[in-house]
Amino acid sequence: MMTGGHVPVLLEESMAFLNPQPGGIYIDCTVGTGGHTQEILDRTGPDGVVIGIDRDPRAIEMATERLAAFGSRFRPVRANFVRLAEVVKESAAMVDGVLFDLGASSMQFDDAGRGFSYNEDAPLDMRMDPDAPVTAYDLVNGMGERELARIIWEYGEDRWASRISRFIVEKRRLKPIGTTAELVEVIKAAIPASARRRGGHPARRTFQALRIATNGELDVIEPALRSAATMTRPGGRICAISFHSLEDRIVKRTFLSMSEARLLTKKPVAPGRREVEHNPRSRSARLRAVEVLSEF
């Protein structure tokens, strides 16, 4: 869902594969600030409907304000998209297409107080849903060293995971690590100076790992994609935009295993040079899509 200045990523490409039609019913599973949803509503007029799901109440608020002119054609729902079947059952029998824009949004990164960014000092939170019970603070200060190292390695793919975990545990013995700035300093201390000079910000991978673990981001992708397939009419499309290899791997594997769907993207679709220049945060985006052939 990573967008720069709230600009929807791979907009034209995702619309080409989703192929929204006038009068259709579509689901935007990560509505964010409503950029993709607005485009779908524009293309499905005069009576098409978009059900916009997001677990972040601020996203729902911003999207609702942005899309007020569409009236009842936009139906916002605050929920985790893993509850897709439950949400759709309340609103429609079957839908014509589903869009997933995975990961965190720039709105969340740019809100310094929420603790997503390693560039801003804030409490260690990182929750997409502010009512969720577990924060990044809980993981950093409560997990065992081996489990913390596993998360940083698996979700952040950081070669220094064990060393970072050890430094975190040593630091928190003195006092809890309470802010993003404190955590960044621990990570910098753990990574040798020669390694810190390449590969971007030294805390990037650890912050990604903690955000994914805090929000259970990877756990919900496959069940949500499969749920989407069961409620999409034959001929309808399911599109998923990923922002790192872990997400894309799950999307690829799940789409390939859907015997009742036809893969529309042999390779993931990446943003063009012009989009990357305009929105550098789109650089890592990858789009995959399937067409549902028969009822699941």
pLDDT attached to residue 3 = 43
Residues in the chain, how many? 296
- Name the strand (E) or helix (H) holding 229: helix 221-230
Q: Would you place residue 5 in the very low, low, confident or very high pLDDT band (cuts 50, 70, 90)? A: very low
**pLDDT tens, residue by residue, 161-190:** 999 999 999 999 999 999 999 999 999 999
- Out of 174-183, 218-227, 278-287, pick the least confident: 278-287
pLDDT of residue 253: 98
Q: CATH says 4-103+218-292 is which class?
A: alpha beta
- Token pair 């009236």: residue: 71
52 with 74: CB under 8 angstroms? yes
Question: 209, 220, 198: which is closest to 153 by C-alpha?
Answer: 209
d(CA 73, CA 50): 6
Domain spans of the chain, in order of start = 4-103+218-292, 134-215
Query: Quick one: 134-215 is in which CATH superfamily?
Result: Putative methyltransferase TM0872, insert domain (1.10.150.170)
